[in-house]
């Protein structure tokens, strides 16, 4: 596949490395090389099979709109645009492209969602809960998209109308640590996922692009990762 990667940050660079290891042809574009989405026109993307975005919340929606309108499949790991999810879904359907998004492309984190979903039953048995997340000091959004996804998973599974409180920490070079704490008068349950590197995110994103290649439609990675 010919893959265009938007973003040369730590994750974007690792996505490029993983894609090259998996024998794909890779081109990486930085924000300086993509003013007003100049790298995402139909002409510029003519030879591209998939676009993978790991950029910033303020830029990602414009990238999505440009890539989809150019008719290209997209894999989006950037968060911060989910209020526009209905608009993006309609755009993907209108232009008959393929689209996969995720708060986190790590298989381990998606397994953790399942663990959190099962543990949410505790909230129906006099437990209270909190979510804690820690990331490096350069992460721009707080709470993290993954923490928000965990919050939604637990809310949906428990039937509670109120969301669990999320507490965010930004320190050092922490890749990503997410913890759910459920507490009753009798005991305390700790659930934790601690990413040792960004490689899990990168591998998941590249495999998502491969999975998406023959498909059209709008997909959430947490619903399809078992098919990879």
Distance CA 22, CA 146 (A): 26
* Cα separation values, 71 from 18, 28, 81, 170, 218, Å: 24, 19, 20, 37, 13
Residue 10 annotated as catalytic: no
Closest CA to 101 of 161, 56, 62, 54: 54
Q: Which two tokens stand for residue 121?
A: 């039953």
Q: Within 10 A of 199 (CB to CB), how many other CB atoms are there?
A: 16
Find how far residue 200's CA is from the centre of its chain: 12
From the candidates 135, 178, 193, 222, give the one annotated as an active-site residue.
135
Helix ranges, 120-190 (H): 145-158
Catalytic residue selected from 10, 69, 95, 139: 139
Catalytic site includes residue 135: yes
- Measured CA to CA, the distance from residue 121 to residue 184 in angstroms comes to 13
Q: Distance between CA atoms of 197 and 3, rounded to whole angstroms?
A: 22
According to DSSP, the residues that pair with 67 across neighbouring strands are: none
Q: List the catalytic residues.
A: 135, 139
């Amino acid at each position: 596949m010919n893959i265009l990667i938007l973003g040369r940050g730590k994750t974007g660079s690792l996505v490029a490395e993983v894609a090259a290891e998996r024998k794909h042809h890779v081109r990486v574009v930085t924000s300086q090389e993509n003013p007003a989405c100049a790298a995402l026109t139909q002409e510029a993307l003519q030879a591209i099979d998939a676009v993978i975005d790991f950029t910033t919340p303020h830029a990602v929606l414009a990238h999505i709109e440009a890539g989809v309108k150019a008719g290209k499949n997209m894999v989006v790991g950037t968060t911060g645009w989910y209020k526009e999810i209905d608009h993006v879904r309609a755009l993907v359907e209108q232009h008959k492209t393929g689209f996969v998004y995720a708060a986190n492309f790590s298989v381990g984190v998606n397994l953790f969602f399942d663990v959190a979903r099962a543990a949410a039953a505790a909230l129906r048995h006099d437990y209270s809960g909190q979510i804690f997340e820690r990331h490096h000091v350069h992460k721009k959004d707080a709470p993290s998209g993954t923490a928000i996804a965990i919050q939604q998973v637990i809310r949906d599974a428990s039937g509670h109308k109120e969301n669990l409180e999320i507490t965010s920490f930004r320190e050092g070079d922490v890749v990503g640590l997410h913890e759910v704490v459920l507490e009753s008068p009798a005991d305390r349950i700790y659930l934790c996922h601690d990413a040792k590197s960004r490689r899990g995110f990168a591998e998941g994103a590249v495999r998502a692009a491969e999975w998406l290649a023959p498909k059209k439609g709008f997909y959430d990675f947490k619903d399809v990762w078992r098919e990879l």
